Structure 1
Amino acid sequence: MANKKNNDGNQEEPRRSEEPTIRDKRRVDPETGDVRDPAAHDGAASDGAAGVDASASAPAAGAADSTSADASLSDDDKALLDQAATDLVAEMRSDMLRAQAELVNFRTRVERDRAANREAVIAEVIRSLLPALDDLALAEAHGDLVEGAPMTIVAQKLRASFDKYGLKPVGAKGEPFDPAFHEAVVQLPNPEVKVNTIADVIAAGYVLGDRLVRPAKVAVFVPAD
């Protein structure tokens, strides 16, 4: 093959082609027929196996260290750890029971307030209808409500509705006077009474459960001096 000249007139050396390196790993030499020494291959394999064995033994070494750390704890330290765990569980249980009790108390307060608000609204509505109930009572006292008359039926339905909500009259002639439920409009001295006593009911009072809707207006006998 002719060598090419460069621009200076010098001849360029021929380029050598790079050939791939081929490693013969056959156990038997193809030329002599002898068995080759496998020491080189075994050395490489042993290096890989050693790496695997070293990595495999690492967890075992970690477990051994953990076991030795546990074994290094004294009985007093273990007792302290157990006591701390017991105290933590007891504290968490106490907090849970306290939270449950607060929740029950909250629900009780809500239900109580709801019932009180309901009674207050009903009492206010009934209080606004009491003048009509007073007029029906006066009409009945004067004999204007006869059996079977339309007004009598209306009065009966109205009173039944009030009874449904637990409305009860307070104040009756001859009862002891109670300032919590009675309002004294007139006081009449009477030597026959020892305590203040209702002489007459001018306007009936009413209670709704434990709530006073309206005190009874009464005339009162008072002991004479």
Structure 2
Amino acid sequence: MSDENTTPEQEPETAVTPETESAEVDPVEALTEENAELRDKLLRMAAEMENLRKRTEREITDTRAYAIAGFARDMLSATDSLSRALMVLPAEARANADDTTKSLIEGIEMTEREMQRLLAKHGVKPIEAEGQKFDPHKHQAMFEVPDPTRPEGTVVQVVQAGFAIGDRVLRPAMVGVARGGGAAGKAEAPAEGEGGVDKQA
């Protein structure tokens, strides 16, 4: 009897075992998926670290280049004052000045040149303006000059020089801009046989 009781209890167990085995995940496939996930995370982390490195380098470069922007702007005001002092001095007064006055003038000129040299040493460069096409990012238009011989929007006069440090404008150039010249200035008279109607036709 004991044999009859045991047999029915063992039969269900043997019937469930194949189903359990088929439901189990293949360990090789599981490891492959886990490896792919880890590789993806690693690649993402490496990309983030590279972006962070580049951003940090860019910020350091910008800080080095533009840290003196405020000081340089103040220096430009000082050099402008020196330039104006020299400009208002008539040439005759300079020529007839005594030795003390001449020495003073030369000292002002030397100071201005030295300040300009130091600004250039630290990356402060003048903005090209005269003869260039007006650029609102670099130039500030003060007035218009009727000039049919120049293309419309060309800078024809610089009232005050502009300066930039790196790619940033410290101070735009104050300029006068040509008006009335069209896209290419005054058109030249067409040569015979060019433009208009051919008289021999």
1:152-206 CA-partner distances (Å, limit 9, x unpaired): 3322321221111221111433222222211111112222223222221111001
Displacement, 1:220?
Answer: 1.6
1:93 aligns with 2:93: no
Distance 2:145 2:131 in 1: 13
Write the letter of the residue equivalent to 2:29: Q
Compute the RMSD of aligned alpha carbons.
Answer: 3.2
Q: TM-score, normalised by structure 1?
A: 0.57
Which residue in 1 is equivalent to 2:187?
Answer: none
1:122 aligns with 2:45: no
Write the letter of the residue equivalent to 1:105: N
Which residue in 2 is equivalent to 1:175?
Answer: 132
Which residue in 1 is equivalent to 2:170?
Answer: 213
Distance 2:181 2:165 in 1: 35
Of all paired residues, the percent bearing the same amino acid is 32
Distance 1:105 1:78 in 2: 42
Structure 1 unaligned spans of 5+ = 1-71
Select the structure with the greater relative contact order (CA < 8 A; seq sep ≥ 6): 2
Contact 1:171 1:201 in 2 (8 A): no
1:187 aligns with 2:133: no
Matched residue count: 152
Distance 1:193 1:161 in 2: 36
Which residue in 2 is equivalent to 1:151?
Answer: 108
Distance 2:157 2:83 in 1: 15
Which residue in 2 is equivalent to 1:103?
Answer: 49
SS in 1 for 2:77: helix
Q: How does 1:62-73 map to 2 (within 5 A)?
A: none
Distance 1:112 1:201 in 2: 34
Contact 1:203 1:218 in 2 (8 A): yes
Structure 2 unaligned spans of 5+ = 1-17, 95-101, 183-201
1:164 aligns with 2:121: yes
* Distance of aligned partners of 1:80 and 1:172 in 2 relative to their CA distance in 1, 3 Å threshold: same
Distance 2:167 2:129 in 1: 18
Q: TM-score, normalised by structure 2?
A: 0.63
Which residue in 2 is equivalent to 1:133?
Answer: 79
Contact 2:139 2:175 in 1 (8 A): yes
Contact 1:190 1:221 in 2 (8 A): yes
Q: How does 1:44-83 map to 2 (within 5 A)?
A: 80-83=26-29
1:2-41 CA-partner distances (Å, limit 9, x unpaired): xxxxxxxxxxxxxxxxxxxxxxxxxxxxxxxxxxxxxxxx
Contact 1:189 1:221 in 2 (8 A): yes
Moved over 6 A (4+): 76-79, 143-146
Which residue in 2 is equivalent to 1:223?
Answer: 180
Which residue in 2 is equivalent to 1:84?
Answer: 30
Which residue in 2 is equivalent to 1:24?
Answer: none
Distance 2:86 2:128 in 1: 18
Contact 1:186 1:220 in 2 (8 A): yes
